[in-house]
């Protein structure tokens, strides 16, 4: 069975009196590695988190260099969603077998890369 470790390191620079380190680590005792290329259309786009062969627990979403439209991460029904910066990659905890919606202000022409761990 595969395992995974995702390490994110960053620094807030020029913060007086010194920079602040931001270490974050996810350790997954069971992991999957699934890569999808998804072109996000206008409006609501529904995706299902993989549950096989091993349940996915993290989503890394990487936008294309040509990303144009505003995005929201949302649930179904009357959920109005939470906006996120469409130009930055995102790491999001997910639950295998669940669905999520990305709402886009327009149809993108290049795919986003979804990496499930």
Read off the pLDDT of residues 53-108 as tens digits, 9 standing for 90 and up. Answer: 889 999 999 999 999 999 999 988 888 999 999 999 999 999 999 999 999 999 99
At 8-59, the pLDDT tens digits run 777 777 766 676 777 888 888 888 999 999 999 999 999 999 998 889 999 9
Nearest Cα residue to 94 out of 47, 24, 25: 47
Please tell me the predicted confidence (pLDDT) of residue 15. 66
Walk across the sheet containing 71-74 and list its strands: 43-48, 99-104, 71-74, 82-84
pTM of the model: 0.86
Contact 115, 60 (CB under 8 A): yes
Report domain extents, the chain: 31-116
Decide: helix, strand or coil at residue 106.
Answer: coil
**Please, what CATH class does the domain formed by 31-116 belong to?**
mainly beta
Please tell me the predicted confidence (pLDDT) of residue 16. 65
Please tell me the predicted confidence (pLDDT) of residue 67. 96
d(C-alpha 21, C-alpha 91), whole Å: 18
């Amino acid at each position: 069975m595969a395992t995974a470790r995702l390490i994110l390191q960053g620094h807030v620079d020029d913060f007086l009196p010194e920079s602040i380190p931001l270490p974050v680590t996810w350790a997954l005792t069971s992991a999957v590695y699934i890569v999808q290329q998804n072109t996000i259309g206008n409006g609501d786009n529904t995706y299902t988190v993989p549950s096989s062969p091993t349940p996915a627990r993290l989503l890394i979403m990487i936008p294309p260099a040509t990303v144009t439209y505003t995005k929201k991460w949302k649930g179904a029904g009357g959920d109005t969603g939470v906006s996120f910066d469409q130009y930055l990659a995102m790491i999001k905890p997910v639950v295998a077998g669940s669905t999520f919606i990305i709402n886009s202000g327009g149809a993108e022409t290049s795919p986003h890369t979804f990496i499930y761990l």
